[in-house]
Chains A and B, each alone.
Chain A
Amino acid sequence: MAFLEIKDLRKAFGPLSVVQNFELAVEGGEFVSFLGPSGCGKTTTLRMVAGFEQPSAGTIRINGRDVTGLRPNQRNVGMVFQSYALFPNMTVAENVGFGLKVARRPAAEIGARVEEMLRLIKLPTLAGRYPYQLSGGQQQRVALARALAIKPQVLLLDEPLSALDAKIRVALREEIRSVQRKLGITTIYVTHDQEEALSMSDRIVVMNEGRVEQIGTPFEIYNYPRTRFVASFVGTLNILRARVTDAGQRRIAIDGQEIVARRGLDGTASGELRAVALRPEAVSLSDPGGERNRLQGTIEDVSFLGSVVRIRVRFKENAISLDTFNNPGLAPPEPGREVTVTFAYDDVLVLEGEAS
């Protein structure tokens, strides 16, 4: 059985249903991210795991124990907040030791644990400082140490890096991950930054409007999004409208040009309209030959992004973006030119549900 089990969790605020049928099983030591747009219910779900919010229905089990009805202070769950939430009246050491002091541990043990934690977050010299004397990044690291000091069963982080600037965010991201690996602590990490989720997680839960859209490894989520929402939220996918021309032969047509789609055509009938996704980096202007899809179109727009040049090619109704590396010896193609784009059969992702 999984270490953290969430079963059929729901939450409604009055008539507003915020989380619906949420199912998740997290293994011990796993790092799982909740990824989704603002207002999709990530925080609410996390707060139900922490015990700050009572679910309208469903159960939460940690290590085999049903904690659904327990108060937050009985759950032994560590929480890190976006706003750090350090106690302003306490020093760094007192903040980190707070949980142990509440649990009435002996002073010597608290001292040793605080020191260990401060070494873990690489701030061993700041024990005597007050929160207002620390930078945002330092405060968040102290908050992490404070949450970990009580040896929680599960660590919950709600957008812990979104109040920090970009550079510290990347550094701290790696640090949180390395601390998490070192301690082997089961972790849920809420973010709306896909790069953060992709780079840190063992698995990602993509959420939309209170529902789980897809659960999978970063590799799966990025390369094989199952729904149109996941495809458009993670990365910069091209979404095209296609008609299934021959379900058996796995053939579909985009603006009348036929291509082969290896994945996701099971259970469709010929003549159906489906949404199809293509990654910009999978599409090429050059033709390596062999078994590939080929589509003819017109270059509509060329944008220079530094190391990458993004080119937009229009067919009729549909258009796609593709990326080529910048080559100083070669000027980018002109808009208006007729081109053929190519991509592998495997790169065509037929998404679930009718095309809108």
Chain B
Amino acid sequence: MKRSKLGPWLAIVIGAIYFLVPLIGTFEFSLRMRRGEYSFDAYRIVLGDPQFQATFAYSTCLALATILVGALLVVPTAYWIRLRLPGLRPVVEFITLLPLVIPAIVLVFGYLRIYNSSSWLPLTASDRATDLLLTFSYVTLALPYMYRAVDTGLRAIDVRTLTEAAESLGAGWPTILFRVIFPNVRVAVLSGAFLTFAIVIGEFTMASLLDRPAFGPYLQLIGANRAYEPSALAIIAFIVTWACMGLIQVFGRGARMAAETR
């Protein structure tokens, strides 16, 4: 009895060491800016840096736009596939997985070839247009997570019967989508949204190659030129990501509890 419990604990301890030691090390290092004592100086400098604020705000805006576009693209698609084209589900699932398989750098070179300033759709010609292109590429990157989250959410409701009930009550497609389907997959869309946010905030390749002032390239710039600030930034990025994960848990639990009382 005692011995059988030792194994799992050992695994947990090894796992914890594997994840926590670098984290604690980074955190400890980030506090060492002042010689001889621990301080939050590095954090103060980072948070006070106007470039940090600008890039973080930029990436946040882009993340929100990505979430909006992603949700408006994925929810109707996943809904339609479930309702009318269930045979296409494996195909669509495969397509949504492609961004995980194809490296971001390949994608972005593709974009640059298709949308360069001498092409028929010169999306890289102006900053605003490039922002648009960057948003769309983020939508692509977040597609696997968003699609899976929404599809799981749709599985929990009887899409077909709810649609038919709404139809027989006189509702058209926009009403069905926005009054019936969206509200019932809200939790799923939110968890997809937090994952999207975490991805966009840390993304480097696309923002860098499209030459936009995003948070990812800023992280890289600081990392290459400073000593203590990168560690502070890494910890901040961790906190943001973990906050997103935590929010998924909170909302997910709320949904589960509602489902259990059903």
Residues of A within 8 A of B (CB): 50-52, 71-73, 75-79, 81, 83, 85-89, 98-99, 102-103, 132-133, 143, 146-147, 150
Contacts and interface: CB of A to CB of B under 8 A. Distances in A.
30 contacts: A50-B168, A51-B167, A51-B168, A72-B167, A72-B168, A73-B168, A73-B169, A75-B168, A76-B170, A77-B168, A78-B168, A79-B164, A79-B168, A83-B161, A85-B164, A86-B165, A87-B162, A87-B184, A88-B184, A89-B183, A89-B184, A98-B166, A98-B169, A98-B179, A99-B169, A102-B169, A132-B262, A133-B261, A147-B168, A147-B169
Given A71-B167, A72-B164, 16 more contacts: A52-B164, A52-B167, A79-B164, A81-B161, A85-B161, A89-B183, A99-B169, A102-B166, A102-B171, A102-B175, A133-B261, A146-B165, A146-B169, A147-B168, A147-B169, A150-B170
A101 to B, nearest CB: 8
Interface of B: 157-158, 161-162, 164-172, 175, 179-180, 183-184, 186, 258-259, 261-262
Interchain residue pairs A-B with the least CB separation, the first 9: A99-B169, A132-B262, A89-B183, A79-B168, A85-B165, A72-B167, A85-B161, A102-B171, A102-B170
B170 A132 contact: no
B171 A79 contact: no
A103 B169 CA distance: 9
A36 to B, nearest CB: 22
B152 to A, nearest CB: 16
Contacts of B165: 79, 81, 85-87, 143, 146
Given A79-B165, A88-B157, A133-B261, A73 B171 contact: yes
Contacts of B162: 85, 87
A118 B167 CA distance: 22
A87 B157 CA distance: 9
A78 B165 CA distance: 9
Which of A77, A87, A99, A150 has the most C-beta atoms of chain B within 10 angstroms of its own C-beta?
A87
A280 B183 CA distance: 56
A295 B166 CA distance: 60
A151 to B, nearest CB: 11
A83 B158 contact: yes
A87 B161 CA distance: 10
Contacts of B166: 87, 98, 102
Nearest to B172: A73
Contacts of A86: 165
Contact of A132 (B169, B172, B179, B258): B258
A51 B180 CA distance: 20
A83 B165 CA distance: 11
A173 to B, nearest CB: 21
Nearest to A47: B164
